[in-house]
Amino acid sequence: MTGDTSVGASRKPAAGVVGGTVAAAAEEPSAELPGDVRPVLLLPPVLSGRLSPARSTAVAARTGIALGVGITILFVTGLISHLIQHPPDWFWWPAHPVWLYRVTQGVHVTVGVMMIPLLLVKLWSVYPRFFAKPSVRRALPEALERASVAVLLGAVLFQIVTGLFNTAQFYPWKFFFTTTHHAMAYVAFGAVVVHLAVKLPVVRQALSRPVSEPEEAPRAGVSRRAVLAAAGLGAVVAGLAVAGQSAPFLRWVSLLAPRSGQGPQGVPINRTAAAAAVTETARSPHYALSVKVGGRERSFSRADLEALPQYDSVLPIACVEGWSATGHWSGVRLRDLLAQVGEYGGGDVRFVSLETTGIYGSSVLPHTHVVDASTLIALRLGGEDLALDHGYPCRLIAPNRPGVLQTKWLKSIEELS
């Protein structure tokens, strides 16, 4: 979202500038307005006062670059999260470092929130351009440019709004957030690339001179440096307001973080046992975990699982909403449990939950994670039996995975051929 979209008065008063108010067109194009855009402002009366000197190519270009960098980070980290949840055959994601997904998704949500003040300042700096009367000679190019800007603005706003709603787990729409948000990411990123390509000469010109250098006759009002400083400070404050949900040492300043680290046994949850409708089946004395591997099948009661060698793993739960928390888990190593049944052939392993009403009632774990020593069928958290909301009687906990794929209330485990 970079480029020169500033509109202002020329260095000397022109026809139509009366009493310091832009009222009509100048007789000639302003030397300060690239692209042969004449300073004809079709603004509503309430907006047609003296334009601030801070509305300039200097502000537009610099905030646009910051937005471009942020959107690139969001695109890359969002793509990583999508590929982990919906992996194609060629995709590979490591089990270590165990905190990698925690970082990438935490950055994704935090940077997304930081984009809000930058976007507002960018729009403030360029909105008069939207009301500039297009020249007849450049009618088609300007129409195409404005259409591309409309696509860019719409896609970015859609991503920010839906992303914010997702962090709060509020879905007032009927489409599936994950796939729709992923698809619109390509639209937003592509629109940024096109916009940058079109405006690159203007951006270079704007960046070649100091931000304090006047582009037109000095006017009273807030300076460009002040606007850029406010934009940067606003982005930092917005980021700190939510970063604590994934960086525990910042929780004391993250007043807007949806997850504060509180929850059963000190770890937050997204879905309770009651919401998953598993309260009775999970507590049933007849509960048994079915395990199929190497063409053989065996059932394990909770007592059977407790009788097997127990191991500890310190692993984070990291969710797509951006929050994460470290847990001290203990239970049976997955690779040991499979060996109790049959010979593991090296394939992916499917986990199915007792839950039958959610969209994440099952998950598939790739070979890399299956054989990792830190992957557990967890029975305890923080030295205590799993709380019902954390997946009692047992759950999957594997390193470097989204929380939605750490299947709770396990019903069956099966090696896929």
Inside any domain, residue 6: no
Task: Give the pLDDT score at 258.
Answer: 73
Q: Measured between alpha carbons, how far is 143 from 132 in angstroms, rounded to an integer? A: 12
Least reliable range by pLDDT among 25-34, 315-324, 330-339, 397-406: 25-34
In this prediction, residue 403 has a pLDDT band, given cuts at 50, 70 and 90, of very high
pLDDT at 39: 43
User: Rounded mean pLDDT of the chain?
Assistant: 84
As a whole-number percent, the residues of the chain with pLDDT over 70 amount to: 83
Q: Which sign, positive or negative, has the C-alpha torsion 7, 10, 13, 14? A: negative
Please determine, for residue 361, whether its predicted confidence score (pLDDT) is greater than 60: yes
CA nearest to 390, candidates 362, 364, 370, 409:
409
User: Is the pLDDT reported for residue 140 higher than 80?
Assistant: no
Alpha carbon distance 257, 251 (integer Å): 8
pLDDT for 33 equals: 38
End position of a domain, from candidates 250, 283, 303? 250
Q: Same domain for 176 and 310?
A: no
Q: Is 266 within a domain?
A: no
- Residue 10 CB partners (closer than 8 Å, separation 6+): 26, 30, 31, 32, 39, 216
Tell me the residue length of the chain. 417
Q: Is residue 83 part of a domain?
A: yes
Same domain, 139 and 282: no
Q: What is d(CA 187, CA 156) in angstroms, rounded to the nearest whole number?
A: 9
Please report the DSSP string for 242-269 in residue order: HHTTT-GGGTTT-TT-S--S-SGGG---
Three-state DSSP class for 318?
Answer: strand
pLDDT of residue 40: 47
Is residue 351 pLDDT above 70, yes or no?
A: yes
Weakest mean pLDDT among 58-67, 131-140, 307-316, 325-334: 131-140
CA–CA gap between residue 5 and residue 10 (Å, rounded):
15
213-263 per-position pLDDT tens digit: 555 545 556 788 888 999 999 999 999 999 988 888 888 888 887 776 678
Task: Work out how many domains the chain is built from and give that number.
Answer: 2
Any domain includes 185 = yes
Lowest mean pLDDT among 3-17, 96-110, 336-350: 3-17
The per-residue pLDDT for 8 is 38
pLDDT at 212: 62
Task: Examine the domain organization and report whether 62 and 209 are in the same domain.
Answer: yes
Residue 5, in any domain of the structure: no
Same domain, 88 and 44: yes
Locate tokens 């051929």: which residue?
Answer: 417
- 235 and 328 fall within a common domain: no
pLDDT band at 168 (very low <50, low <70, confident <90, very high): confident
Whether residues 21 and 58 share a domain: the answer is yes
Owning domain of residue 359 = 273-415
Nearest residue to 116 (alpha-carbon basis) of 242, 224, 3: 242
String of DSSP letters for 64-90: HHHHHHHHHHHHHHHHHHHHHHS--TT
- The contacts found for 230-236 with CB under 8 angstroms, 24 or more apart, are 230/121, 231/63, 231/66, 231/117, 231/118, 231/121, 232/66, 234/117, 234/118, 234/120, 234/121, 235/66, 235/114, 235/115, 235/117, 235/118, 236/114
Across 98-105, average pLDDT: 96
pLDDT at 45 over 80: no
For the segment 109-126, the average pLDDT, to the nearest whole number, is 92
The CA-atom distances, in angstroms, between 387 and each of 96, 283, 415 are 27, 11, 27
Q: How far apart are CA 320 and CA 271, in angstroms?
A: 13
Taking only the tens place, the pLDDT of each residue in 8-27 is 333 333 333 333 333 333 33
pLDDT of residue 201: 82
Compute the distance between CA of residue 191 and CA of residue 183 in angstroms, rounded to an integer: 13
pTM of the model: 0.83
- Tell whether 119 and 244 lie within a shared domain: yes
The residues facing 414 across adjacent strands are 292, 350
In DSSP terms, 311 is beta-bridged to 331
Q: Is the pLDDT of residue 145 over 80?
A: no
Span 190-214, average pLDDT: 78
- Same domain, residue pair 284 and 224: no
Query: Strand 349-353 relative to strand 324-333: parallel, antiparallel, unpaired?
Result: unpaired
109 lies in the same domain as 191: yes
pLDDT given for residue 21 in this prediction: 31
CATH of the domain at 364: 3.90.420.10
DSSP state of 216: S
Residues 380 and 241 in one domain: no
Q: What pLDDT sits at residue 27?
A: 31
Question: In the structure, what pLDDT confidence band is assigned to residue 366 with cuts at 50, 70 and 90?
Answer: very high
Buried b (16+ CB within 10 A) or exposed e, 233-257: ebbeebbbbbbbbbbeebbeebeeb
Mean pLDDT of 369-387: 97
Mention every residue, 6+ apart, whose C-beta is less than 8 A from residue 233: none
Give the pairing of strands 410-415 and 349-353.
antiparallel
pLDDT at position 111 is 96
Average pLDDT of the residues in 185-214:
81
